[in-house]
């Protein structure tokens, strides 16, 4: 699983306009200096509604429209469910799920009025596949997947499209500074969450996925007249998702008789 940082230069090199956001916009200074005519940076903390509204107002005032929203805020957390507190859970979902919802709800009226737009939500293989030691991360991504799939059907008639990006392991800082661990670990979960954390640390800098190639793949999907609902990125993502789908089919087939037995029939009405 991965949280994929998308190089913004991929968009700007095409000649497109970009409103780049960060909690510390100074981090984007070099980017803006290189593309002063087409790029603008603003502060955005996705947990703050006022920041979101201000960012949307800025992009409309500056560029006049919003063609693509990329929801990419978030961070990893390696911890078993029992190792996190209620406060941890609420804070984690605020950033990794509710922030994306706030942005979508703020941008959608603009896209509806335009009659066009594309929402790109950064999910993960962990949005379809559950990993031990990643209960909250998987929970937030699963929630984003379900919301996005339903949203796509809600806004299709308005000319608005929705795509979920499901990366595998990419060479970003996800396994480094963006990866948090349980504040209070429980020894019993060491073989699960503890081992998972160690694997992620050992993989840091060795992930097979290339973020620049991923950016080009996402651009290709957005520019397609028939973009995918889900776009898996990386051979590891493909393998994990195929394994998940095979497991779902195996369970359905094995329990088919029980499944269909729960319907009303003429004999048990």
- pLDDT of 155-210, one tens digit each? 999 999 999 999 988 777 655 555 677 788 899 999 988 777 777 776 776 776 78
* Mean pLDDT of the 134-146 span: 96
Q: Is 137 a catalytic residue?
A: yes
Q: Is the pTM of this model over 0.85?
A: yes
Q: Is 123 a catalytic residue?
A: yes
**What domains, with CATH codes, occur in the chain?**
66-259 (3.40.50.720)
pLDDT at 9: 82
Catalytic residue from among 124, 137, 148, 193: 137
Q: Is 13 a catalytic residue?
A: no
Catalytic residue from among 2, 3, 123, 135: 123
pLDDT at 76: 82
Catalytic residue from among 40, 92, 141, 196: 141
Q: Is the pLDDT of residue 142 over 70?
A: yes
pLDDT at 197: 76
pLDDT at 207: 76
Contacts of 173 (CB under 8 A, 6+ apart): 5
Please give the residue that has the higher pLDDT: either 198 or 25.
Answer: 25
Give the pLDDT band (50/70/90) at residue 107: very high
pLDDT at 176: 54
Count of Cβ atoms closer than 10 Å to residue 127 Cβ:
27
């Amino acid at each position: 699983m991965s949280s994929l940082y998308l190089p913004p230069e991929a968009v700007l090199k095409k000649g497109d306009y970009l409103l780049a956001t960060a909690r510390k916009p100074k981090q984007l200074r070099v980017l803006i200096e290189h593309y002063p005519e087409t790029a603008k940076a603003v502060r955005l903390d996705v947990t703050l509604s006022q920041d979101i509204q201000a960012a949307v107002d800025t992009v409309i005032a500056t560029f006049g429209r919003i063609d693509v929203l990329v929801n990419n805020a978030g961070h990893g957390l390696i911890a078993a469910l029992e190792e996190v507190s209620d406060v941890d859970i609420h804070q984690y979902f605020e950033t990794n799920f509710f922030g994306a919802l706030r942005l979508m709800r703020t941008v959608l009226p603009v896209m509806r009025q335009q009659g066009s737009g594309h929402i790109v939500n950064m999910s993960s293989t962990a949005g379809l596949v559950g990993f031990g030691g990643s209960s909250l991360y998987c929970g937030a991504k699963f929630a984003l997947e379900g919301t996005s799939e339903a949203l796509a059907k809600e806004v299709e008639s308005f000319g608005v499209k929705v795509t979920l990006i499901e990366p595998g392991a990419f060479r970003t800082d996800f396994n480094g500074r963006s990866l948090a661990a349980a504040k209070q670990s429980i020894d019993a979960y060491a073989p699960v969450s503890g081992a998972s954390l160690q694997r992620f640390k050992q993989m840091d800098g060795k992930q097979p996925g290339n973020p620049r190639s991923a950016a080009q793949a996402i651009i290709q999907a957005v520019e397609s007249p028939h973009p995918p609902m889900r776009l898996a990125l990386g051979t590891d993502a493909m393998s994990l998702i195929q394994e998940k789908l095979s497991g779902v089919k195996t369970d359905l087939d094995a329990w088919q008789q029980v499944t269909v037995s729960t319907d009303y029939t003429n004999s048990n009405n």
